[in-house]
Structure 1
C-alpha cells in the first residue's frame, strides 16, 4: 500500500478573504463549490494540478494565532528570487508579511513568509529541492 496525498482541508473564520488570498498570492483557482452543512465549501487548485492536489476551504474555523517561533506553514515554490521579492512586497503592502525575504543554506533557499486571512503561514521559496530549479540540486 502506498497512499498519495491528495488534499488539505482548512476550516477558516471567513471563507471569501481566504479564497481571494489563495487566488491572488498563490495563483490557485476555484475548481469546485458545494453546499455543506449550511455553508459553502470551496475546492481550490493550481492550474494543471486539479487532479493531483487541492485545498478544501470551509467556513467555521477559528483564527490561528501562531507563536512568533512557530514555523508551521504551507510551502509554494516560485521560479526565481524576483518572484519571492514581488510576493513579499505585495504582502508588505497588504500588512501580512511575516518573514521578509531571506537566504538560508541549502536545502532551504530564498524565501519569505505571509500570513493568510485565517492565520496560517504560507512560505514562498526559490531554490529548495522541490519545485522550479530543483532538477539541478541533489536531494540530501
Structure 2
C-alpha cells in the first residue's frame, strides 16, 4: 500500500486568530478538538472532507515569518477568477494580502496569496490542473 497524505500540522502562536483566519478565508471548519496537557489542539477540514484531509493547529508556536524568496505555502483551489479576486479584495481590506492576483503560465494559473496570522503563505488559485477550475 502507498502512503496517503492525510494532514498538515502547524504550530501556531495564536490559536484563536489562526482558527478565525482558516475559517474566514479557507472555509475550514473545526471537525475535532483535542485537549492535551492543558492545550487545545484543533483539527480543521473542508465540510464533507473530514476523513480525507485535515489541517491541525497546535498552540504554542513561534510564528513563521517567511522571506520574500520563500514560496512555501498551502494551496486552495477556487471555482473562478472572480473568486480569487474576491479573496484578494477581502485580504487587502484585512491587511493580509501577500501577492495580488496574477496570471501565470500553465500549470500555475490565476492566483493570489495571503499571510495567515503566523506569517505562513496561503495561495488561492483558479485554473491549476487539480481541484475546482482544473483544466480537462
Q: Report the TM-score when normalising by structure 1.
A: 0.95
Residue aligning to 2:70: 70
- 2-structure distance, mates of 1:7, 1:123: 17
- 2-structure distance, mates of 1:85, 1:110: 10
- How far is the alpha carbon of 1:20 from its aligned partner? 0.5
Residue aligning to 1:42: 42
* Alignment RMSD: 0.8
Q: Deviations over 1:18-56 (max 9, x none)?
A: 000000100000011011122100000001110100011
* Large movers: runs of 4+ above 6 Å: none
Structure 1 unmatched runs, 5+: none
- 2-structure distance, mates of 1:56, 1:107: 28
Structure 2 unmatched runs, 5+: none
- 2-structure distance, mates of 1:105, 1:87: 21
- 2-structure distance, mates of 1:117, 1:72: 15
Q: How many aligned positions are there?
A: 136
